[in-house]
């Protein structure tokens, strides 16, 4: 979410025992994702001999875990917000998140697996797939950069009045109102390139469309609910792409 407050309250910082619980939760979350993503990839492929799929799985799990551990160490209040989802989230955002997860786990990854098995796509140049993998991994660092300027970068949209929710206008937020969404969209678009699947680009584009719509809905929510956001939106015109939208 496009907001932060540099004067985070002391009560927003978890105690040491809670930090340990957050580390356990982050590790458990990553561990739970491994079999789900592996099944979505390798069952349709009919083989475990697929280095590109292992690379995507390893980078995604490692990147997500390292990002969460970094948040726990440097921005524990945000880590708690992201790992322990409050109930007061916007229902429309929960639905959109479920749609994007469905498109990833039930469409993009299995379709790429079938492509690997049946050979729908011509072989991708190794340099292109490797470059896409590097960029896919780099997006985790870019997302962390955005989070470092936004203590309210929640997993789901809500007005975080309990955490002193205020507008962010530093770092990437000086150029874009929702830089994190742009980086996530790019990540999804890199996946079919790494996996060498042209048909996989279709659900990847659908996920991107969901995130673009989600950006618009969140922007409208912040304009209506977050004090100062309307002034910020007049100063920073672009939501996702400078000069375009």
78-97: pLDDT as tens digits: 999 999 877 788 999 999 99
Band of pLDDT at residue 13, cut at 50, 70 and 90:
low
Residue 21 pLDDT exceeds 60: yes
Q: Average pLDDT, whole number, for the chain? A: 92
Which token pair is 37?
A: 């993503």
For the record, the structure tokens of 89 come out as 């989230």
Question: 38: burial class by Cβ within 10 Å (0-12, 13-18, 19+)?
Answer: middle
pLDDT at 14: 64
Count Cβ atoms below 10 Å from residue 61 Cβ, excluding itself: 17
pLDDT in tens, 32-74: 999 999 999 999 999 999 999 999 999 999 999 999 999 999 9
Domain boundaries, given as residue ranges, for the chain: 12-235
Q: Among 1.20.120.1630, 3.40.50.2300, 1.20.200.10, 3.40.640.10, what is the CATH number of 12-235?
A: 1.20.120.1630
Q: How many CA atoms lie within 13 A of 224 on its CB side?
A: 7
DSSP element (H, E) containing 5: none
Predicted pLDDT of residue 17: 85
209-222 pLDDT tens trace: 999 999 999 999 99
pLDDT digits (tens, 9 = 90+) for 128-147: 999 999 999 999 999 999 99
CA distance 69 to 74: 9
pTM of structure: 0.91
Q: pLDDT for 116-129, tens place per residue?
A: 999 999 999 999 99
**Interval 226-241 mean pLDDT:** 96
């Amino acid at each position: 979410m496009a907001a932060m407050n540099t004067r985070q309250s002391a009560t927003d910082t978890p105690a040491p025992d809670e930090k340990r619980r957050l580390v356990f939760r982050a590790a458990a979350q990553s561990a739970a994702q491994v079999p789900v993503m592996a099944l979505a990839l390798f069952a349709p492929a009919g083989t475990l001999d697929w280095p590109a799929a292992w690379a995507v799985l390893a980078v995604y799990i490692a990147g997500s875990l390292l990002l969460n551990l970094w948040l726990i160490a440097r921005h524990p209040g945000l880590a708690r917000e992201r790992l322990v989802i409050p109930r007061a989230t916007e229902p429309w955002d929960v639905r959109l998140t479920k749609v994007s997860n469905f498109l990833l786990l039930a469409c993009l990854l299995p379709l790429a697996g079938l492509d690997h098995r049946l050979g729908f796509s011509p072989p991708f140049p190794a340099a292109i797939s490797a470059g896409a993998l590097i960029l896919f991994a780099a997006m985790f660092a870019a997302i962390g950069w955005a989070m470092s300027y936004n203590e309210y970068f929640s997993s789901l949209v809500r007005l975080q009045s309990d955490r002193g929710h205020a507008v962010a206008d530093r770092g990437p937020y000086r150029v874009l109102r929702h830089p994190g969404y742009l980086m996530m969209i790019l990540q999804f678009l890199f996946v079919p390139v790494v996996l060498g699947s042209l048909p996989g680009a279709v659900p990847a584009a659908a996920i991107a469309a969901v995130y673009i719509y989600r950006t618009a809905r969140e922007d409208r929510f912040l304009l209506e609910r977050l004090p100062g956001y309307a002034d910020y939106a007049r100063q920073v015109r672009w939501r996702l792409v400078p000069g375009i939208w």
